[in-house]
Amino acid sequence: MDKILIKGGKKLKGEVEISGAKNSALPIIASSILSTEECVLTNVPLLKDIQTIKLVLESMGARVRRDGYTFAIDAKDLKSCEAPYELVKTMRASVLVLGPLVARFGEARVSLPGGCAIGTRPVNLHIAGLQKMGAEVEIKHGYVEVRAKRLKGANISFDISTVTGTENIMMAAVLAEGETVIGNAACEPEVVDLANFLIKRGAKIKGAGTDTIIIEGVLRLSGGTYEIMPDRIETGTYLISGAITGGDVTVRRCVPSHIEAVLSKLSVVGVKTEVFSDSIRVVADRGISAVDVRTMPYPGFPTDMQAQIMALMTISNGLSVITETVFENRFIHVPELRRMGAKIKLQENYAVVEGVKSLSGAPVMATDLRASASLVLAGLVAEGQTEVHRVYHLDRGYESMERKLSGLGADIVRVK
């Protein structure tokens, strides 16, 4: 298993380029199931999770060719409608094949994703939505089995905002009979990216990006080409790498409007930011003040940035309360940050972080994708060496993070 060694203390300087958005590429790749024509996707990030969804599609009989950042997917000869446990257990987002499979074939058998480090990750809202559209759903031997002659449009309102739930139902609805209205829909940019690609292929969708999405079913969807939008969470992570090291970092090929909530927190903590059309410069030349953070669905502060801003708050000059409202157990990075000298108290779903003068490098263990990013960020500023173990978690969502950080002047190496 690889590990990453970081010698802290370097102020990061320079430019870093953002890759395509993982959480946009995943549903968009799954949506290729909806048509028999080829889909060609560009700016697809080279990540472990993308490899996983490629394997899921190939296990069903799709042909997926990758050439650098371009994916060509031909789902014409899809033979099976089953996403096997051994693949789904490694990535919950595999559940995104459910909606497209039922829409195209009238059936699907997808392993229940099971829990993961940040929570139980249920899919009850995905299932309830499909049932409202006329699907028969059974849970058997750890699999969700769905059958429907032809899905019918329905009025579906989610009790809680669910990103992949919204995406699954939207994909199911594009080939359903009649109109589907999704209430309390997720407004995340990734939902909009998926909708834009579906519309390009002939789908009739209105309201993506708002909490009410209206889909008029059509008979078929064509293939098409599409460029995946930049990753807003990777953008926020590198902005914080500049802030935490007191550096001067420019993040290129990003969409500033997707990361407003993080930018406003950075300006409150005393970091200077300059926003351009597709890049953001962050300059942190004085101390970091404390700020309270509460994660919320988009456009609120993203839960996927909570661990990263907590790393920044561990070296602030005050007290910060960080409240996690989306997932029930997303503080697994806290014990590891404490081993680096951070002062953090946990209470139900909030953490009280008391800034310290400096962190000290230590061997730490990554547990989930964003928790591992926060350990790397802490290592960049800690005194001495930090060893981050189990970096395969990092590889799930960050394309060659050590290369991008050393490009900014970090003293960081990856060892087998």
Choose among 209, 172, 45, 204: nearest CA to 96: 172
Written as six digits, the tokens of 63 are 């042909």
Nearest approach, Cβ of 297 to ligand EPZ (angstroms)?
A: 7
Under the binding rule (CB under 6 A), the answer on residue 294 touching ligand EPZ is no
* Tokens (6 digits) for 246: 């007191």
**Closer residue to ligand EPZ (CB): 190 or 336:** 190
User: 297 or 361: whose CB is closer to ligand EPZ?
Assistant: 297
The maximal CA–CA distance of the chain, rounded, in angstroms, is 63
Q: How far is CA 234 from the centre of its chain?
A: 9
Helices in 174-317 by DSSP H: which ranges? 189-200, 232-244, 260-268, 306-313
Which is nearest to 167 in space by CA: 19, 325, 24, 326?
Answer: 24
User: Are 312 and 332 a contacting pair, CB within 8 Å?
Assistant: no
CA dist 256 and 245 (Å) reads 21
Q: How far is CA 15 from CA 89, 226, 260, 358, 375, in A?
A: 36, 26, 20, 26, 21
Rule CB under 6 A: choose which of 61, 76, 149, 160 binds ligand EPZ: 160
What distances in angstroms separate CA 82 from CA 62, 86, 179, 221, one per listed residue? 12, 12, 27, 21
Instruction: Go through the chain and tell me how many residues it has.
Output: 416
Q: How far is the CB of 334 from ligand EPZ (least distance, A)?
A: 17
Q: Please count the other Cβ atoms lying within 10 Å of the Cβ belonging to residue 72.
A: 16
CB of 53 to ligand EPZ, least distance (A): 10
Encoded one letter per residue, x for contact with ligand EPZ by CB under 6 A and - for no contact, window 183-212 reads -------x----------------------
Is residue 416 within 8 Å of 391, Cβ to Cβ? no
Nearer to ligand EPZ, 93 or 334 (CB): 93
Q: Which of 165, 230, 236, 242 binds ligand EPZ (CB under 6 A)?
A: 165
Determine, following the binding rule CB under 6 A, whether residue 93 of this chain makes contact with ligand EPZ: yes
Which one, 61 or 122, has the nearer CB to ligand EPZ? 122
By CB under 6 A, tell whether 395 contacts ligand EPZ: no
Q: Which is nearer to ligand EPZ, 104 or 330 (CB)?
A: 330
Q: Using CB under 6 A, which residues numbered 99 to 158 contact ligand EPZ? A: 119, 121-126
Of these, 26, 133, 135, 366, which contacts ligand EPZ (CB under 6 A)? 26
Structural tokens at position 196: 């834009």
x-marked contacts with ligand EPZ along 336-375 as a string, rule CB under 6 A: ---------------------------------xx-----
Full DSSP string of 71-87 = EEEE-TT----EE-HHH
Residue 398 in contact with ligand EPZ, rule: CB under 6 A = no
Query: Which range, of 69-77, 161-169, 241-249, 349-357, touches ligand EPZ by CB under 6 A?
Result: 161-169
Question: In a 10 Å sphere around its CB, with 0-12 CB exposed, 13-18 middle and 19+ buried, how is residue 128 labelled?
Answer: middle
Contact 388, 372 (CB under 8 A): yes
Least spacing, CB of residue 267 vs ligand EPZ, in Å:
23
Q: Which two tokens stand for residue 306?
A: 């909570």
User: Least distance to ligand EPZ from the beta carbon of 341, Å?
Assistant: 26
Candidates 304, 336, 395, 402; binder of ligand EPZ (CB under 6 A) is: 304
Nearest distance from residue 219's CB to ligand EPZ, in Å?
Answer: 28
Q: Least distance to ligand EPZ from the beta carbon of 315, Å?
A: 23
* CB atoms near residue 1 (< 10 Å): 7
Q: 6, 75, 175, 326: which one contacts ligand EPZ (CB under 6 A)?
A: 326
Assess 237 for contact with ligand EPZ (CB under 6 A).
Answer: no
Torsion of CA 193, 199, 205, 209, to 10 degrees: 20
| Total interface residues for ligand EPZ by CB under 6 A | 25
Residue 116: active-site member = yes
Q: How far is the CB of 168 from ligand EPZ (least distance, A)?
A: 9
Six-digit token pair at 11? Answer: 């102020």
Note whether 54 binds ligand EPZ by CB under 6 A: no
> Site residues (CB under 6 A) for ligand EPZ?
22-23, 26, 92-93, 119, 121-126, 160, 162-165, 190, 303-304, 326-327, 369-370, 397
Active site residues: 116
